[in-house]
Amino acid sequence: MQKLTPLLLTCLLLPLTGQARDLKVGLQGDYPPFDYEVKGQLTGFNVDIANAVCRELKARCVFVKTTWADLIPGIESGKLDAVIASMSITEERKKRVAFSDKYSQIPGSFVSRKKRILSTYITPQDLAGMKIGVQAKTTFANLIQARFAASNKVTEFEGTKEMYEAMRAGEVDVVLDDMVAAYEGFLKKPEGASYELVGSPIRDRKYLGVGEGVAVNLKNTALLAEVNAALKNIQSSGEYQQIMKKYFQFNIY
Protein backbone atom coordinates (compact mmCIF):
# COMPACT_ATOMS: atom_id res chain seq x y z
CA MET A 1 0.00 0.00 0.00
CA GLN A 2 1.23 3.48 -0.75
CA LYS A 3 2.03 5.73 2.17
CA LEU A 4 -0.93 7.94 3.09
CA THR A 5 -0.04 11.61 3.42
CA PRO A 6 -2.39 13.67 5.61
CA LEU A 7 -3.05 17.20 4.40
CA LEU A 8 -2.88 19.80 7.09
CA LEU A 9 -6.47 20.82 6.49
CA THR A 10 -9.24 20.87 9.05
CA CYS A 11 -12.95 21.18 8.64
CA LEU A 12 -13.73 23.41 11.62
CA LEU A 13 -12.15 25.56 14.23
CA LEU A 14 -11.47 23.97 17.58
CA PRO A 15 -13.95 25.03 20.27
CA LEU A 16 -12.44 27.21 22.93
CA THR A 17 -13.79 24.95 25.67
CA GLY A 18 -12.52 21.56 24.51
CA GLN A 19 -10.35 19.48 22.24
CA ALA A 20 -12.04 18.11 19.13
CA ARG A 21 -11.26 14.54 18.09
CA ASP A 22 -9.60 13.93 14.75
CA LEU A 23 -11.44 12.11 11.97
CA LYS A 24 -9.12 10.87 9.22
CA VAL A 25 -11.11 11.13 5.97
CA GLY A 26 -9.78 9.45 2.82
CA LEU A 27 -10.35 10.74 -0.71
CA GLN A 28 -8.51 10.97 -4.02
CA GLY A 29 -8.19 14.72 -4.31
CA ASP A 30 -8.10 14.71 -8.11
CA TYR A 31 -11.73 13.98 -8.96
CA PRO A 32 -13.52 17.24 -9.84
CA PRO A 33 -16.11 18.40 -8.97
CA PHE A 34 -16.18 16.00 -6.02
CA ASP A 35 -12.72 16.41 -4.50
CA TYR A 36 -9.86 18.34 -6.04
CA GLU A 37 -7.31 21.02 -5.24
CA VAL A 38 -7.39 24.73 -6.00
CA LYS A 39 -4.17 26.54 -5.15
CA GLY A 40 -3.20 23.73 -2.81
CA GLN A 41 -6.52 23.67 -0.97
CA LEU A 42 -8.96 20.78 -1.18
CA THR A 43 -12.45 21.66 -2.33
CA GLY A 44 -15.45 19.97 -3.94
CA PHE A 45 -18.73 18.30 -3.10
CA ASN A 46 -17.20 15.46 -1.08
CA VAL A 47 -14.99 17.87 0.85
CA ASP A 48 -17.96 20.05 1.78
CA ILE A 49 -20.02 17.01 2.79
CA ALA A 50 -17.12 15.84 4.97
CA ASN A 51 -16.86 19.28 6.54
CA ALA A 52 -20.58 19.27 7.33
CA VAL A 53 -20.43 15.78 8.83
CA CYS A 54 -17.44 16.78 10.96
CA ARG A 55 -19.26 19.80 12.32
CA GLU A 56 -22.18 17.58 13.31
CA LEU A 57 -19.78 15.16 15.03
CA LYS A 58 -17.90 18.02 16.71
CA ALA A 59 -14.79 16.49 15.19
CA ARG A 60 -11.79 17.81 13.29
CA CYS A 61 -11.45 16.35 9.80
CA VAL A 62 -7.96 15.52 8.63
CA PHE A 63 -8.12 14.83 4.91
CA VAL A 64 -5.88 12.08 3.58
CA LYS A 65 -5.19 12.03 -0.15
CA THR A 66 -4.48 8.60 -1.58
CA THR A 67 -5.14 6.45 -4.62
CA TRP A 68 -8.54 4.90 -5.18
CA ALA A 69 -7.08 1.42 -4.72
CA ASP A 70 -5.81 2.33 -1.24
CA LEU A 71 -9.05 3.73 0.18
CA ILE A 72 -10.67 0.50 1.40
CA PRO A 73 -7.35 -0.97 2.64
CA GLY A 74 -6.87 2.29 4.53
CA ILE A 75 -10.18 1.74 6.35
CA GLU A 76 -9.32 -1.89 7.08
CA SER A 77 -5.90 -1.05 8.49
CA GLY A 78 -7.11 1.84 10.62
CA LYS A 79 -5.11 4.46 8.73
CA LEU A 80 -8.44 6.01 7.74
CA ASP A 81 -11.55 6.49 9.87
CA ALA A 82 -13.85 7.18 6.96
CA VAL A 83 -13.88 7.42 3.17
CA ILE A 84 -15.96 10.22 1.64
CA ALA A 85 -14.99 9.85 -2.00
CA SER A 86 -18.13 9.09 -4.05
CA MET A 87 -17.72 5.39 -3.28
CA SER A 88 -20.64 3.34 -4.56
CA ILE A 89 -22.44 1.09 -2.09
CA THR A 90 -22.20 -2.47 -3.40
CA GLU A 91 -22.65 -5.90 -1.87
CA GLU A 92 -19.05 -6.82 -2.67
CA ARG A 93 -17.63 -3.77 -0.90
CA LYS A 94 -19.94 -4.31 2.09
CA LYS A 95 -17.95 -7.45 2.83
CA ARG A 96 -14.97 -5.22 3.65
CA VAL A 97 -16.39 -1.91 4.91
CA ALA A 98 -19.64 -0.62 6.40
CA PHE A 99 -21.56 2.04 4.50
CA SER A 100 -23.71 4.90 5.68
CA ASP A 101 -26.98 5.77 4.04
CA LYS A 102 -26.39 7.17 0.57
CA TYR A 103 -25.54 10.86 0.20
CA SER A 104 -25.65 10.90 -3.61
CA GLN A 105 -26.59 8.67 -6.53
CA ILE A 106 -25.06 9.41 -9.90
CA PRO A 107 -25.25 7.24 -13.04
CA GLY A 108 -22.34 6.31 -15.24
CA SER A 109 -21.85 7.26 -18.87
CA PHE A 110 -19.59 6.43 -21.77
CA VAL A 111 -17.50 9.25 -23.22
CA SER A 112 -16.06 9.33 -26.73
CA ARG A 113 -15.35 11.67 -29.62
CA LYS A 114 -18.37 13.56 -30.88
CA LYS A 115 -20.58 11.71 -33.38
CA ARG A 116 -18.47 8.57 -33.19
CA ILE A 117 -21.07 6.49 -31.29
CA LEU A 118 -24.71 7.19 -32.09
CA SER A 119 -26.49 4.37 -30.24
CA THR A 120 -28.81 5.16 -27.34
CA TYR A 121 -28.16 1.92 -25.47
CA ILE A 122 -24.52 0.89 -25.70
CA THR A 123 -23.87 -2.81 -26.34
CA PRO A 124 -20.62 -4.68 -27.08
CA GLN A 125 -21.66 -4.66 -30.73
CA ASP A 126 -21.80 -0.85 -30.72
CA LEU A 127 -18.21 -0.74 -29.47
CA ALA A 128 -16.92 -3.51 -31.71
CA GLY A 129 -13.23 -3.04 -32.43
CA MET A 130 -12.91 -0.13 -30.00
CA LYS A 131 -10.50 0.07 -27.08
CA ILE A 132 -12.22 0.85 -23.79
CA GLY A 133 -10.67 2.71 -20.87
CA VAL A 134 -11.87 2.64 -17.26
CA GLN A 135 -10.51 3.43 -13.79
CA ALA A 136 -9.23 0.32 -12.02
CA LYS A 137 -10.91 -1.17 -8.94
CA THR A 138 -14.16 0.73 -9.50
CA THR A 139 -17.72 -0.37 -10.08
CA PHE A 140 -17.29 0.85 -13.66
CA ALA A 141 -14.36 -1.51 -14.11
CA ASN A 142 -16.47 -4.40 -12.81
CA LEU A 143 -19.22 -3.61 -15.31
CA ILE A 144 -16.81 -3.29 -18.23
CA GLN A 145 -15.03 -6.54 -17.37
CA ALA A 146 -18.34 -8.39 -17.10
CA ARG A 147 -19.99 -7.05 -20.24
CA PHE A 148 -17.31 -5.88 -22.65
CA ALA A 149 -13.99 -7.57 -21.91
CA ALA A 150 -14.84 -10.62 -24.00
CA SER A 151 -15.25 -8.56 -27.16
CA ASN A 152 -13.13 -5.46 -26.56
CA LYS A 153 -9.63 -4.60 -25.43
CA VAL A 154 -9.97 -3.03 -21.97
CA THR A 155 -7.31 -0.88 -20.31
CA GLU A 156 -7.61 0.00 -16.63
CA PHE A 157 -6.05 3.18 -15.26
CA GLU A 158 -5.08 4.18 -11.74
CA GLY A 159 -7.00 7.46 -12.04
CA THR A 160 -9.42 9.23 -14.36
CA LYS A 161 -6.83 11.86 -15.26
CA GLU A 162 -4.65 9.18 -16.83
CA MET A 163 -7.71 7.63 -18.46
CA TYR A 164 -8.74 10.84 -20.24
CA GLU A 165 -5.17 11.59 -21.28
CA ALA A 166 -5.03 8.14 -22.88
CA MET A 167 -8.24 8.78 -24.80
CA ARG A 168 -6.96 12.11 -26.08
CA ALA A 169 -3.74 10.36 -27.15
CA GLY A 170 -5.71 7.73 -29.06
CA GLU A 171 -4.70 4.89 -26.78
CA VAL A 172 -8.37 4.15 -26.02
CA ASP A 173 -11.44 5.05 -28.05
CA VAL A 174 -14.09 5.30 -25.35
CA VAL A 175 -14.15 5.48 -21.56
CA LEU A 176 -16.72 4.84 -18.84
CA ASP A 177 -16.98 7.27 -15.94
CA ASP A 178 -19.32 8.88 -13.44
CA MET A 179 -21.59 11.07 -15.59
CA VAL A 180 -21.14 14.22 -13.50
CA ALA A 181 -17.38 13.81 -13.11
CA ALA A 182 -17.07 13.24 -16.85
CA TYR A 183 -18.98 16.41 -17.67
CA GLU A 184 -17.57 18.70 -14.98
CA GLY A 185 -14.05 17.31 -14.86
CA PHE A 186 -13.41 16.75 -18.58
CA LEU A 187 -16.08 17.78 -21.10
CA LYS A 188 -16.38 21.36 -19.81
CA LYS A 189 -12.66 21.90 -20.17
CA PRO A 190 -10.94 22.93 -23.42
CA GLU A 191 -9.34 19.50 -23.77
CA GLY A 192 -12.79 17.91 -23.70
CA ALA A 193 -14.33 20.08 -26.42
CA SER A 194 -14.19 17.35 -29.07
CA TYR A 195 -15.82 14.72 -26.85
CA GLU A 196 -19.32 13.99 -25.55
CA LEU A 197 -21.39 11.73 -23.34
CA VAL A 198 -22.69 8.84 -25.43
CA GLY A 199 -25.58 6.47 -24.86
CA SER A 200 -28.12 6.50 -22.08
CA PRO A 201 -27.12 7.02 -18.42
CA ILE A 202 -26.10 3.70 -16.84
CA ARG A 203 -27.86 2.82 -13.57
CA ASP A 204 -27.18 -0.90 -13.29
CA ARG A 205 -27.51 -1.68 -9.56
CA LYS A 206 -25.85 -5.06 -9.96
CA TYR A 207 -22.55 -3.40 -10.80
CA LEU A 208 -22.93 0.27 -9.84
CA GLY A 209 -24.68 -0.17 -6.51
CA VAL A 210 -27.46 1.84 -4.88
CA GLY A 211 -25.77 5.21 -4.48
CA GLU A 212 -22.64 6.64 -2.89
CA GLY A 213 -22.07 6.45 0.86
CA VAL A 214 -19.53 7.11 3.59
CA ALA A 215 -17.40 4.03 4.25
CA VAL A 216 -16.14 3.14 7.75
CA ASN A 217 -14.61 0.08 9.40
CA LEU A 218 -16.98 -2.87 9.74
CA LYS A 219 -16.41 -2.92 13.50
CA ASN A 220 -16.96 0.79 14.05
CA THR A 221 -20.73 0.69 14.48
CA ALA A 222 -20.66 3.75 16.75
CA LEU A 223 -19.07 5.95 14.07
CA LEU A 224 -21.47 4.58 11.46
CA ALA A 225 -24.45 5.59 13.60
CA GLU A 226 -22.96 9.05 14.14
CA VAL A 227 -22.36 9.54 10.42
CA ASN A 228 -25.90 8.48 9.54
CA ALA A 229 -27.31 10.89 12.12
CA ALA A 230 -25.10 13.66 10.75
CA LEU A 231 -26.22 13.03 7.16
CA LYS A 232 -29.85 13.09 8.29
CA ASN A 233 -29.31 16.36 10.14
CA ILE A 234 -27.69 18.17 7.21
CA GLN A 235 -30.54 16.98 4.99
CA SER A 236 -33.23 18.26 7.35
CA SER A 237 -31.43 21.57 8.00
CA GLY A 238 -31.09 22.33 4.30
CA GLU A 239 -27.28 22.38 4.44
CA TYR A 240 -27.03 19.39 2.10
CA GLN A 241 -29.16 21.14 -0.52
CA GLN A 242 -26.98 24.26 -0.28
CA ILE A 243 -23.84 22.19 -0.85
CA MET A 244 -25.40 20.37 -3.79
CA LYS A 245 -26.51 23.62 -5.47
CA LYS A 246 -22.98 25.00 -5.08
CA TYR A 247 -21.63 22.34 -7.46
CA PHE A 248 -24.57 21.05 -9.51
CA GLN A 249 -27.56 22.45 -11.37
CA PHE A 250 -29.57 19.27 -10.83
CA ASN A 251 -30.46 16.87 -8.03
CA ILE A 252 -27.79 14.21 -7.45
CA TYR A 253 -29.57 12.62 -4.50
pLDDT tens readout for residues 152-163? 999 999 999 999
Domain that holds residue 41: 5-105+210-247
Cα–Cα distance between 116 and 198 in angstroms, integer?
A: 9
Whether residues 47 and 167 fall in one domain: no
Q: Pick the residue with more confidence: 18 or 167?
A: 167
Number of domains in the chain: 2
Cα–Cα distance between 81 and 50 in angstroms, integer?
A: 12
252 falls within a domain: no
Cα–Cα distance between 117 and 5 in angstroms, integer?
A: 41
Whether residues 214 and 202 fall in one domain: no
Mean pLDDT, the chain, rounded, equals 93
Query: How many H helices and E strands in the chain?
Result: 8, 13
Task: Judge whether residue 11 has pLDDT over 60.
Answer: no
Whether residues 118 and 233 fall in one domain: no
CA angle 32, 37, 38 (to 5 degrees): 110
72 falls within a domain: yes
35 falls within a domain: yes
The DSSP line for 153-169 is: EEEEESSHHHHHHHHHT
What per-residue confidence (pLDDT) applies to 23? 98
Whether residues 126 and 158 fall in one domain: yes
pLDDT in tens, 42-83: 999 999 999 999 999 999 999 999 999 999 999 999 999 999
CATH code, 48 = 3.40.190.10
Whether residues 101 and 216 fall in one domain: yes
Whether residues 12 and 39 fall in one domain: yes
Helix axes 45-57, 239-247, angle to 10 degrees: 160
Residue 154 φ then ψ, to 5°: -115, 130
Whether residues 114 and 89 fall in one domain: no
Whether residues 120 and 33 fall in one domain: no
Whether residues 51 and 125 fall in one domain: no
